[in-house]
Structure 1
Amino acid sequence: MTTAAFRPRVLTGDRPTGPLHLGHYFGSLQNRVRLQSEGAELFIVIPDYQVLTDRDTAEKLPETVEELMLDYLAVGIDAERAVIFTHSSVPALNQLLLPFLSLISTAELHRNPTVKDEIQHSRQAQVSGLMLTYPVHQAADILFCKARLVPVGQDQLPHLEATRTIARRFNARYTRGGSPLFPEPEALLSAMPLLLGTDGGKMSKSRGNAIALGAGEDETAQLIRGAKTDTERRITFDPEHRPEVSSLLSLAGLCQGRDPYAVAEEIGEGGASRLKALVTEAVNEHLRPIRKRRAELAGDRGYLREVLARGNARANEVADVTLAQVRTVMGMTY
């Protein structure tokens, strides 16, 4: 039997800025459920403070947080084992931001390519200082619980590298050759192929081009019918030259457990209409049990609040211990 001492700790999470979609599901959520089943200790942060990085106000947070929790539990996250918590409920985690900021230069923050992309798509008239410190806040998310594994997409690797840099510099500056306080977390990259949004761009909650896990079957069909393809009638899997068509083929393959080349061969000369019909059927069939479970959970909002309260309490226990250790090695215990 796996003991707690040997359970790898994993930190992951999603900003409460809108419903989770198929990109999240195949890119991250499935992986979390797999890690949990293999014995990992799963910490899932809902970073409500970080909503303010690219928008002026955080709107409808209670509802959005509950929607995230519905998605987590519906796909198979175990509420009895996973620690699901909100940023704003863990003061000690956020206090780590101050010493961590002293370990990274403004030039390094300005060079972060993920920050540059977020700034480009920001909803703010002027970018706030919180946006620039986003990678350091994420470092606090990861290091407060001393996570060793962080499931990320390719675009999030710069943030994880910033976390590794902060951990390394903190250990070198304050532990003075002794046992390091913080591990340097490793990235756990998904093997999922790139899924594009229905407009052919990056699938994103904020860009209105994604299929939400909680969407109904008719809404899903409508969104897929409107997905961008091309004018070639014969359907082939060619990610380089036919990215939109190939993304739809990948989605069907993921839902059906099939090779996208085989899906393309089946459609053949059926064209975009046959492709979209097959994808719609595959997506709705795959998500049907998840959506059923989600609807059942939505009927008991009190249970969702109970799960979150337990997670917040556990996250605070861990964060308080870590902050006390940080203050000790920094000589700040008065």
Structure 2
Amino acid sequence: MHETTDLEERVAADPGAFRVLTGDRPTGPLHLGHYFGTLANRVRLQRAGVELFVLIADYQVIIDRDVAERLPERMLGQIADYLAVGIDPETATIFNHSAVPALNQLMLPFLSLVSVAELGRNPTVKDEIAASRQAAVSGLMFTYPVHQAADILFCKANLVPVGKDQLPHQEIARTVARRFTERYGPVFPVPDALLTDVPVLLGTDGAKMSKSRGNAIDLSATADETARLITRAKTDAERRITYDPDGRPGVSTLVLLAALCQGREPESVAAEIGDGGAAALKKVVIESVNEFLRPVRARRAELVADPAQLRAVLAAGNERANAVGDATLHEVRAAMGAVV
């Protein structure tokens, strides 16, 4: 936590010294878990003056599935989500994996810098394998952290906002940057991890909020869809509403969701509902979420009505990412002695 505090102070003092790489896989709509976990932080950093690279990780869709379904539609929807929550495409570079060959070409030298044993010990890889829909572990899944290192280092990002579960991946990127310098000379900064300090939002079924489980409140959901999801959410038999994440995870997630949308402390929200029970709690959550998402939904509706604009945003981001990636790859090839 001390390191994160120090980083925040450095960012506040000189935001122009930092470049952030962040992104998402286009496997479905982004939801409130994404918003409070990462999207709000991206907007905050960008508005502070940090340069933002936002990756639509289309190649990584096939890490844990056989095909990338409805990919063009989902990519445009993801761009609409980004813009609707406040990411500014005039200063942010929004791009996708498959459009930036230089980024993916960095995988080859980077793979030579890490061992099979190191990848096998990576706890995040183990989790991905355990949760995989595939019968066997693909080479892409096994080398997923190295691909993420290429994502981060191709643009020489020096700041990566992550949750604690992503720290092992981040450490691989740091390892690759250090070892490349030791072997070939300085090309890459060693990127710092900026830990996000937002509690995990559970889904309406009590499990982790996920695109694939149908338990998430999408940013694109209507007010009625949101109300139906929250009405079905798991609570418990105790009437008095309290905020106790360990003892009452279902109730506490709803309290936290209302608190985040209202910009208040969850204990205060719980105390206000008091003995109102689950019905009163869900009513407060429905009203809070729908009011919070109202401007996001309005902006998103405008954006999806103009897909040409969304394609133009991606085209401009891809052009910028390719220029950066080509320059980095040239530096890498020169450092390795591969430029004739």
Give the alignment's TM-score, normalised by structure 2. 0.94
5+ residue gaps in structure 2?
1-11
Aligned residue in 1 for 2:147:
137
- Aligned partners of 2:15 and 2:50 also within 8 Å: no
> Partners of 2:126 and 2:278 in 1: how far apart?
35
Aligned-pair identity (%): 69
The CA deviation at 1:88 is 0.2
The CA deviation at 1:107 is 1.2
CA deviation vs aligned residue, 1:71-130 (integer Å, no higher than 9, x gap): 000001111111000100000000000110111111111111111111122121222110
1:241 corresponds to 2:247: yes
Change beyond 3 A, Cα 1:248–1:5: closer
- Aligned partners of 2:204 and 2:234 also within 8 Å: yes
Moved segments of 4+, more than 3 Å = 4-7
Aligned residue in 1 for 2:273:
267
- Aligned partners of 1:7 and 1:39 also within 8 Å: no
- Aligned partners of 1:225 and 1:276 also within 8 Å: yes
> Partners of 1:173 and 1:207 in 2: how far apart?
44
5+ residue gaps in structure 1?
none
Aligned residue in 1 for 2:204:
198
**11-20 vs 243-252, which moves further:** 243-252
Give the alignment's TM-score, normalised by structure 1. 0.96
> Partners of 1:196 and 1:111 in 2: how far apart?
28
CA deviation vs aligned residue, 1:31-86 (integer Å, no higher than 9, x gap): 11111111111100101011010000111110000000000000011111110001
- Aligned partners of 2:83 and 2:89 also within 8 Å: yes
66, 77, 83: which is aligned to 1:56? 66
3-state DSSP class of the match of 1:42? strand
> Partners of 1:228 and 1:181 in 2: how far apart?
51
> Partners of 2:15 and 2:255 in 1: how far apart?
42
AA of the residue aligned to 1:81: T
- Aligned partners of 2:29 and 2:77 also within 8 Å: yes
- Aligned partners of 1:11 and 1:149 also within 8 Å: yes
- Aligned partners of 2:15 and 2:48 also within 8 Å: no
The CA deviation at 1:188 is 1.4
AA of the residue aligned to 1:150: V
1:289 corresponds to 2:312: no
276, 283, 308: which is aligned to 2:282? 276
Give the paired residue count.
328
Aligned residue in 1 for 2:125:
115
> Partners of 1:274 and 1:327 in 2: how far apart?
62
1:218 corresponds to 2:206: no
